[in-house]
Chains A and B, each alone.
Chain A
Amino acid sequence: MSVYIIRRLLQAVLVVAAMSVLVFAGVFMIGDPADILISDDADQAERQRLIESLGLDLPVHMQYLRFLAKALQGDLGTSFVFNEPALLLILDRMPATLELAFSALLLAVVFGIPLGMWAGLKPDSLASKSIMAGSILGFSLPTFWVGIMIIMIFAVMLGWLPSGGRGTTRELFGIDVSFLTVDGLLHLVLPAVNLALLKISLAVRLTRAGTREVIHQDYVKFARAKGLHPRRIVLVHVLKNILIPVITVLGLEFGSLIAFSVVTETVFAWPGMGKLIIDSINQLDRPVVVAYLMITVCMFIVINLIVDLLYSLLDPRVRLQDVKG
């Protein structure tokens, strides 16, 4: 197992290195940062001094190595707009995004899996058909439109829930979170539902397909032949088998949840990374964009690693192969 983790971590380092090249090339090589950074009335000597201090006179590979050396020290550049280290800016916004994404994931698990199982166990019932119709809507309606609609209905027309911001936050392990206060929780509901809708639909479909497949397996019939209670068959024999693929896919989708939160955060004025990156792109704040991309890459890698470990914990057949491998 530990050999496996070390191997995965080495792979991760390679991926981060490759991504850093791409991000560097993509952002630093397009256009000349000097044009933005240096005011037009600066004289030639001053201009030259700034270019040298930024290392823009060096050959490409040297520039990259400089970027890399600084990145390794945790310096991903300083925001032009906020005049603060880009990394800190993003880390500051990250808890809000993570809270939103985790809430959405929780909703996907809590609603998607039971609804999907119901639809798989009783495919011909009216409830199951409604669930499946709902999941098609969840898939096909664009997130921003749904976001605007639920703001219209629940915030504007009914006035039940607030439509923007995080509300009152409380500190938990040094991080501000919304879900610990009633006001914060109320603020969390609409954006979390908005972000979760797609994943709930995905969980419903995956769970339903898995259930339909598993209930026809011989081992379920054998469980019935043992005289087990139907509840135990569904909650242990069926659920444990479908959880493996469903958890794996939902885990991998967590990365895309963070990516999609860009839309939801913008619609609901949720002060997370997604809103920051949109603002930074609008203001050509490159260091922040670079830092965002690098952090997102690292998060995807960490998520994949965690999901793989989780998968091997859930599926006994995978564990054995790791021990051998």
Chain B
Amino acid sequence: MASNTPTLLVEDLKTYFYTKAGVAKAVDGVSFSVAKGEVLGLVGESGSGKTVTGFSIIGLVDPPGKVAGGRILFNGEDITGASEERMRRLRGSRIAMIFQDPMMTLNPVLRIDTQMIEAVQAHDKVDRKTAFERSRDALGQVGIPSPEERLKAYPHQFSGGMRQRVAIAIALLHKPDLIIADEPTTALDVTIQGQILYEVQKLCRERGMSLIWITHDLAVVAGLADAICVMYAGRIVETGAIAQVIDQPLHPYTHGLIGSVPSHNRRGQPLAQIPGMAPSLLNMPQGCAFHPRCPRADAKCLEIPGVTTPRQPDHRVRCFHPHAGAAA
């Protein structure tokens, strides 16, 4: 395989939910790529389609949802229409996912060792003892003290932060090529957030793994990611290298997001909020989905803007009137 093949290439991905009330286009034409060893931040408000994007990649979109179009290439292989068995072999082994809520991720009635050993044995034909040792080492690596004893415990005997470490250890068991981390720290308190963020980043860098870090908090990815995708209502509205997007945002929505991060705000002033609410997927505004909340909107915005690169070729935006001028 050529070394310049990206770990993940997503092209025009469409994931729709066919509900009784209508078709919810949770992901509607999303394209991005993640190079080997790259960390991509996927940012957007609640309901913008980040989690659905992640589940689409590992093939775990549940009915009434369905991948309705587009292609997903993983290490060059088109996995969009792959068989369930092929996807099972990839999941946990080559592509791992860490979920949003650590309290719900582990099965409450199974011991940690059971849940880790089965994950090892799902992909490698090794005996229980080897699987146990690998699980123990993996727990040690994510900073769980006395892992041998802790393996015998049940999830309820762990704190939220410790459970998320277990989930991370499980994700790392097979040294996957790609980890999708779906806001793994949102449910945790701030100090634990920082630790886990640091550790995941370190482990990924050490092993050359690609990482998609999903969050609604721009400040979190600013110090972590190489590149960033900003999602709004199922579409990527801006994407580029981290410095480009943070320092010189093009899209009015990204501008708003940056304005609402405390560190970018002048002391003593109230935080800038993006006025209005995210649109309902079943009742999308005509044209640019952001126009009801956009300070730059005009009549032109009643059509759907295409992708343009007004400043640099790899800094893409979907907007008729991007901030092409000075930085925010």
Contacts and interface: CB of A to CB of B under 8 A. Distances in A.
Contacts of B60: 221, 224-225
A218 B100 CA distance: 9
Interface in B96-116: 96-97, 99, 101, 104-111
B87 to A, nearest CB: 8
A224 B99 contact: no
Contacts, number: 80
B108 A316 contact: yes
Given A226-B91, A227-B91, A320-B156, A241 B122 contact: no
Contact of A227 (B109, B122, B157): B122
B104 A218 contact: yes
A89 B5 CA distance: 84
A129 interface: no
B156 A316 contact: yes
A226 B109 contact: no
Contacts of B91: 224-227
A241 B107 contact: yes
A219 B118 contact: no
**Chain B CB within 10 Å — which of A218, A240, A244, A317 has the most?**
A218
A225 B58 contact: yes
Given A224-B60, A225-B97, A228-B122, A241 B105 contact: no
Contact of A241 (B62, B109, B156): B109
Nearest to B173: A226
A217 B62 CA distance: 12
A240 B110 contact: yes
A237 B148 CA distance: 23
Contacts of A237: 107, 110
A241 B108 contact: yes
B105 A240 contact: no
B88 interface: yes
B89 interface: yes
Nearest to A240: B109
Interface of A: 216-230, 232, 236-237, 240-241, 244, 314-317, 320
9 contacts: A218-B104, A219-B105, A221-B99, A222-B167, A226-B119, A229-B122, A232-B122, A236-B118, A316-B109
Closest 5 pairs (CB-CB, A-B): A227-B92, A218-B104, A226-B92, A227-B91, A316-B154
Interface of B: 58, 60, 62, 88-93, 96-97, 99, 101, 104-111, 118-119, 122-123, 154, 156-157, 167, 170
